[in-house]
Structure 1
Amino acid sequence: MSKEKEEKQEKPYWEGKEYSFYNHKKCEFFPCHETTDPQNFNCLFCYCPLYALGSKCGGNFKYTEQGIKDCSACKLPHKRKNYGYIMSKYQEIMELAKKNQ
């Protein structure tokens, strides 16, 4: 992509905003997943809101032999660039919550 086209493309509404990123280096568990980029490790979604979506979360997970979702290898909610993806899944999370009333 040319630099001219790149400049014309708008950034997502949340990119560069303080509310879309939180890095808690003083946390006793920081980082909770192995990373080569601790500066961009996002702690905002410490407890992943996508967990309830099961296999539709989009993350790197597996199920244990006991049927429990294991997200220990997943870094999806901890990447700065994935804030928009997580927010795009909130409609699905709300629909799931409605079913569980």
Structure 2
Amino acid sequence: MSENYKFFCHKNCEFFPCHKTDKPDEFNCLFCYCPLYALGKNCGGNFKYTEKGIKDCSNCMLPHNKKNFDYIMKKFSEISELARKK
């Protein structure tokens, strides 16, 4: 089975690439806005919190790596749980 659905590169986007990368041809735009952001410290990405408590993901490439598609999909149960609690 093809796994092309796990990768989308939008080179015409005015923000491309939104994170610094040495491999723009491998930059995955599929999760343009990271679905893991709401998981806070449990997202698994490379982030930090600013002095004001805002999550800064500018150094995180987790959602932009094709190899991480399955990891993100496995985290959706945690995201759903957060939505149920609200």
From 8, 14, 21, give the equivalent of 1:22: 8
Q: Which amino acid aligns with 2:12?
A: K
What SS does the aligned partner of 2:18 have? coil
The residue number in structure 1 matching 2:28 is 42
- Deviations along 1:25-66, whole A, 9 cap, x unmatched? 000010000111111110000000000000000000000000
The residue number in structure 1 matching 2:78 is 92
Is structure 2 residue 41 aligned with structure 1 residue 55?
yes
Query: Separation in 2 of the partners of 1:79 and 1:37?
Result: 10
Q: Which amino acid aligns with 1:27?
A: C
Q: CA RMSD in A?
A: 1.1
Query: Which has more radius of gyration?
Result: 1
Query: Separation in 2 of the partners of 1:79 and 1:19?
Result: 13
Aligned residues: 86
Query: Separation in 2 of the partners of 1:96 and 1:19?
Result: 26
Query: Separation in 1 of the partners of 2:85 and 2:68?
Result: 26
What SS does the aligned partner of 1:19 have? helix
Distance apart, 1:87 and its partner CA: 0.4
Q: Which amino acid aligns with 1:44?
A: L
Query: Separation in 2 of the partners of 1:82 and 1:59?
Result: 11
